[in-house]
Amino acid sequence: MKGVGVMDTHVAFLTGRALPARSADGVRADYFQRWAIEESINQISNDFMPVLGGSNPKIRRYGINIAVLFQNWHTMINRARSPELGYRLDGTHTELLKAIQDVAFS
């Protein structure tokens, strides 16, 4: 069975969040919160996660931390308004990564 015994096929996230009462609204709220979290995880893993060769857990942890940092920057940039004109910025993840590359390596 594929995935059984392979440590890099699953990811677990821990939270201290208390579950609401099991009412219809509580289940609905859980569903929407889970959907939002899964969208963020999808963006992190597909748009920002660097391709890492090997299975060294320290390197993989570094990669996910970098991906989360870039995703947070992307969210912050797209929520902030431009200081001069007050326009919302609408940068893509590719534009952000290119800007980081230009600033860091030019």
For the chain, domain boundaries: 18-105
State the Cα–Cα distance between residues 41 and 37, nearest whole angstrom. 6
The secondary structure element, H or E, covering residue 59 is: helix 57-79
- 43 closest CA partner among 17, 88, 14, 73: 73
Q: What is the pLDDT of residue 90?
A: 85
Residue with structure tokens 């001069």?
A: 84
**pTM: predicted TM-score of the whole model, two decimal places:** 0.60
Helix 93-105 with 57-79: angle, nearest 10 deg: 110
Q: In 39-92, which ranges are E strands?
A: none
The four Cα atoms 21, 27, 28, 32 give a dihedral, to 10 degrees, of 100
Task: With a cut of 50, say whether residue 20 has pLDDT above it.
Answer: yes
Per the model's pLDDT, the better-predicted residue between 47 and 36 turns out to be 47
Q: Map residue 6 onto helix, strand or coil.
A: coil
- Confidence label for 1 from pLDDT (cuts 50, 70 and 90): very low
Average pLDDT, the chain: 80
pLDDT per position as a tens digit, 55-94: 899 998 999 999 999 999 998 888 888 888 888 888 898 9
CA atoms within 13 A on the CB side of 56: 8
Name the residue type at position 79.
R
